[in-house]
Amino acid sequence: MTTTTGVPTLVRGRLGSALPFLVGGVLVVVMAVLPLLNISIPGILPGPTYTPGTLALLSLCLVFAALALSYNLLLGTSGMLSFGHALYFGAGAYGLGVALRFLEVPLWPGILIALLGGLVIALVTGSVAMRVNGIPFAMVTLAFAQAGSVLVRRNQQVTGGEEGLRLPVEHVPEWLVGVVNTRNLYWFTLVVLVVVYLVVLWVDRSRLGHLAQATRENELRVQVLGLHPYRAKLAVFIVAAGCASLSGIAYMLLQSGTQPSAVGADLTITVLVMVVLGGVGFRWGAIVGGVLYTILDQRLTVLARAEWIQDLPGVLRVPLSEPLFLLGVLFILVVLFLPGGIAGTVDAAIRRRRGERARAELTRMDDAADSRTEVSA
């Protein structure tokens, strides 16, 4: 009995644990070859997948998916609600531009300098912000983000002020510059997303991630056990900020520049909506939320300018011509009817199905045992 029922169960368990990695690997391969294919999705993509416009949109989706992943590491793993996460995204974008412009270094040393700058800023701000918890923590991170936004807007000589900072393309390899190289930029952003995902996965499955999750559930109990929740939360905070800075670097290269909005609190709220939409605590949910929100944001803007929208009565034309209104309605509907987000809803459905299968298996085994007992009697 142990042999006949245990081996299949063990095999199914191994396949179940390996299935997410297999699916993820297949998706990465599909995304990698997408620029070489001629796939059109009317209403969602602006053209075939090999065209620069579609590749630019998909690249932007990948950038914000990576940013959402980094924020999910904060909120989902550690339970830290931050309103200043965009500060580190902007630190990566502006850090790369400043390093290339004023230090006149090549691209790869510039990327390293921008990453180190984002990590140092995260270490300083995180050390201060995590002296408090909950809403006070969120307010302190918001204050840091606002301070960063003011510094960016007021330093015209360094950051370009309100006009933003242009990417010094003379220090960037030619294969990453211009519309003609959008395919290479797409592959670069895909690599960034994969790197961020692997870092987040490593943290979630490491001792650090387990300690951060325990701190999220009951910080006092962790302290009683003689552990150090402050250090764990600070380490996760810094790693998440580093991933956000890497996303900002990809954004700078993709857009050939950046604006002060990349540092503001509005971007953090947008990323929070992405994570909630996809499902807090689910890595693949953060990716789906980032991609879905970015596509909706870009395509609804195009839809708002459509002629048939302008011909509608005012009571319909006004809300339909405001993408933020439609996104807000979508967010409300998700919170009301899918409180766990897209990934949370799918996960709950899978768990229910597994529970039903397990109950059916137990019932079958009980019936088989009863029949053998009757035969023996």
pLDDT per position as a tens digit, 180-195: 899 999 999 999 999 9
pLDDT of residue 3: 44
> 290 Cβ partners below 8 Å, 6+ apart?
61, 64, 65, 66, 67, 68, 69, 271, 274, 278
pLDDT of residue 2: 44
C-alpha distances in Å from residue 29, one per residue of 45, 48, 79: 20, 18, 32
pLDDT of residue 220: 84
Q: Sign of the CA dihedral 265, 194, 56, 182?
A: positive
Q: Is 48 left (phi over 0), alpha (psi -120 to 50) or beta?
A: beta
pLDDT of residue 372: 65
Which amino acid is residue 29, in one-letter code?
A: V
Angstrom distance (rounded) from CA 200 to CA 190 = 15
Structure-block tokens of residue 126: 């995180």
pLDDT of residue 1: 42
The string of DSSP codes covering 52-82 is HHHHHHHHHHHHHHHHHHHHHIIIIIS----
When computed from its CA atoms, the radius of gyration of the chain, rounded to whole angstroms, is: 24
pLDDT per position as a tens digit, 311-353: 677 667 767 677 777 788 888 888 788 888 888 888 888 888 8
Query: Under DSSP, is residue 337 helix (H, G, I), strand (E, B) or coil?
Result: helix
In 3D, which of 167, 318, 327, 358 has the Cα closest to residue 251?
167
pLDDT of residue 331: 81
Question: Which stretches in the chain have pLDDT values below 50?
Answer: 1-5, 7, 10-11
The CA-CA-CA angle for residues 128, 197, 230, to 5°, reads 25
Structure-block tokens of residue 37: 């294919």
Query: Under DSSP, is residue 377 helix (H, G, I), strand (E, B) or coil?
Result: coil
The CA-CA-CA angle for residues 147, 152, 158, to 5°, reads 140
Structure-block tokens of residue 54: 């579609």
Angstrom distance (rounded) from CA 167 to CA 185 = 14
